[in-house]
Structure 1
Amino acid sequence: MKKILVPTDFSNEAENAVKVAAELAKKHNFEIVLLHMLDLPIQQLNTGSAPADLPEAMYFMKLAHKQFEDVLKKDYLRDITVTETVDFHDITKGILETCEKESIDLIVMGSHGAEGLKELFIGSNAEKVVRHSKTPVLVIKNRHEHFDIKEFVFASDFKNDNKETYSQAVKLAQLFDAKIHLLYVNTPSNFVTTATSKVRIFDFIEGQNYNNYTINIYNDETVEKGILNFSKIINADLIGISTHGRQGIAHFFNGSISEDLVNHANRPVITFKI
């Protein structure tokens, strides 16, 4: 991992994400790309087609650069390689294109509490980033005085199409020297015996050399409640889940499940694209 992308609107929530990214960058010698998207039609920059709108577009561009100047003066960014980017683009498309252009390894995004998380996973631009991004997305909900991952819950149905996401989770765990808690949630409507679940999990992790893990079969009313309750019991620092692109959040995260889980998760959540 070399580069972290932090989309920012210069809000307090975005600053929470920048601070987490800065701590990761200092600890592991990463670079940070700060991105501010001005969601204005690109035609506004073309004096041949929209000369009347050019002053407004340039005003917002200058304002964004001034805000970046203030951010870059922060002590927590000292001695970190930081690149600032302001662009006129669709927000989601701009983030995804920046990831490809800059070879981004991790996106760190802030969230506006429960309401913001609902927007994040239900219908906002950020939700589209999570859904379509090939790059892992770390969602930061709260302010962290010190960001460290020691207890990492990886919740899955442990089918073969998720194996690549687990490889990404292992790389992250190695970075923090964290323990991975492999979690399968049993529900009344989708019950699987403990023996069958464990066989599925062992098959799933075969070939990985990371031995700092636990296997957990947890029974609850719903999958999202099981993830939240288990994470609370072990005081997890991070919850990891997988996404299926345009199909939405994989297995656990369809319909109201995604809304319920992420709205109530007071912990960072990281998503991996299948």
Structure 2
Amino acid sequence: MKKILVPTDFSTQAENALKVAALLAKKHHCEIYLLHILEMPIQQVDPLSSYNNLPEAVYFMKLAHKQFEELKAKAYLKDLKLHETVEFHEIFKGVFHVCKKHDIDLVIMGSNGVSGLREMLIGSNTEKVVRTSETPVLVVKNEHETFKINDFVFASDFKDESKATFEKAIYFANILKAKMHLLMVNTPNKFITSAKSKDRMKTFVEGFGFSNYTINVYNDISIEKGIMNFSQSINADLIGMSTHGRQGISHFFNGSISEDLVNHAKRPVITFRI
């Protein structure tokens, strides 16, 4: 891991993410890329001109640069290699563009979660990034003085399509020197016996050359609640899982367990796009 991207709106939640990025960057000798998104109203844009020629864009660019300078002066960022970028995109498009351009290894975002009608209608920027990012996304809710990950829950259905994401999860588990707790949640609507579940999980992990893990089957009323309740039972430091990146009407009707976890879990969550 060499490059970490931290999207920021200069809020407390975004700074919580940056503090975690700083802790990881110091430990693993990473560069940090700071990204601020300016979403300019489309009706203000002349199709024949660029954003950079708009008076509003120039003003907000200067304001963002000033905020970047204040942020980079923080003591916890001392001696770190920092880059700043301003993009004129929707948040998920900006993150995608910067990840591709700079070959980013990890995106770290802050979130305070949303709930109820607001969640259903507009979701959150973090949720959009989780749904669409091809780069792993780590979401943190709180400030962390240290970021030591001892126990890492990886929840999955352990079907073949998740093998690529499991390989990414192993990579981060090795970097963090964390024990991985493989978790399959059984629900009343999708019940598989514990014996069959464990057999599937054992078959799934064969060939990865990874041994620092436990196998766990947990029964609950929903997958989301099962992941959170199991993680609480072992006092896990991190929850990880795959996301399918559904969009549009399919996403609305099917929902996304990873996005629900980002909104509702109190622990840090890392997602890997299938």
TM-score by length of 1: 0.89
Percent of aligned pairs with the same residue?
65
Is the Cα–Cα contact under 8 Å of residues 120 and 127 in structure 1 kept in the other structure? Answer: no
Structure 1 residues 99 and 43 mapped into 2: Cα distance closer, same or farther (>3 Å)?
Answer: farther
What's the CA shift string for 1:143-201, capped at 9, x where partnerless? 11111111000000000000011100000000011000000111122111111111110
Structure 1 residues 168 and 126 mapped into 2: Cα distance closer, same or farther (>3 Å)?
Answer: same
Q: Which residue of structure 1 lines up, in the alignment, with residue 228 of structure 2?
A: 228
1:5 aligns with 2:11: no
Structure 1 residues 33 and 89 mapped into 2: Cα distance closer, same or farther (>3 Å)?
Answer: same
Query: 1-side partners of 2:215 and 2:268: how far apart?
Result: 21
Structure 1 residues 238 and 122 mapped into 2: Cα distance closer, same or farther (>3 Å)?
Answer: farther
Query: 1-side partners of 2:181 and 2:122: how far apart?
Result: 27
Query: 1-side partners of 2:198 and 2:50: how far apart?
Result: 62
Read off the aligned partner of 1:16 and give its amino acid letter. N
Query: 2-side partners of 1:143 and 1:198: how far apart?
Result: 36
Residue 133 of structure 1, CA deviation: 1.1
Q: Which residue of structure 1 lines up, in the alignment, with residue 179 of structure 2?
A: 179
Query: 2-side partners of 1:269 and 1:120: how far apart?
Result: 20
1:55 aligns with 2:55: yes
Q: Which residue of structure 2 lines up, in the alignment, with residue 108 of structure 1?
A: 108
Q: Which residue of structure 1 lines up, in the alignment, with residue 32 of structure 2?
A: 32
Q: Which residue of structure 2 lines up, in the alignment, with residue 152 of structure 1?
A: 152
Q: Which residue of structure 1 lines up, in the alignment, with residue 245 of structure 2?
A: 245
Read off the aligned partner of 1:144 and give its amino acid letter. H
Structure 1 residues 72 and 188 mapped into 2: Cα distance closer, same or farther (>3 Å)?
Answer: same
Q: Which residue of structure 1 lines up, in the alignment, with residue 269 of structure 2?
A: 269
Structure 1 residues 39 and 138 mapped into 2: Cα distance closer, same or farther (>3 Å)?
Answer: same
Read off the aligned partner of 1:79 and give its amino acid letter. D
Is the Cα–Cα contact under 8 Å of residues 243 and 258 in structure 2 kept in the other structure? Answer: no
Structure 1 residues 134 and 256 mapped into 2: Cα distance closer, same or farther (>3 Å)?
Answer: closer
Is the Cα–Cα contact under 8 Å of residues 42 and 88 in structure 1 kept in the other structure? Answer: no
Is the Cα–Cα contact under 8 Å of residues 37 and 86 in structure 1 kept in the other structure? Answer: yes
Is the Cα–Cα contact under 8 Å of residues 6 and 17 in structure 1 kept in the other structure? Answer: yes
> What is the number of residues matched between the two proteins?
268
Residue 221 of structure 1, CA deviation: 1.6
Is the Cα–Cα contact under 8 Å of residues 31 and 82 in structure 1 kept in the other structure? Answer: yes
Q: CA RMSD in A?
A: 2.7
Query: 1-side partners of 2:273 and 2:47: how far apart?
Result: 40
Read off the aligned partner of 1:105 and give its amino acid letter. D
Is the Cα–Cα contact under 8 Å of residues 130 and 259 in structure 2 kept in the other structure? Answer: no
Query: 2-side partners of 1:34 and 1:259: how far apart?
Result: 23
Higher deviation after alignment, 83-92 or 170-179: 83-92
Query: 2-side partners of 1:42 and 1:69: how far apart?
Result: 28
Segments of structure 2 that go 5 or more residues without pairing to the other structure are none
Q: Which residue of structure 2 lines up, in the alignment, with residue 215 of structure 1?
A: 215
Q: Runs of 4+ in structure 1 displaced over 6 angstroms?
A: 42-48
Q: Which residue of structure 2 lines up, in the alignment, with residue 88 of structure 1?
A: 88
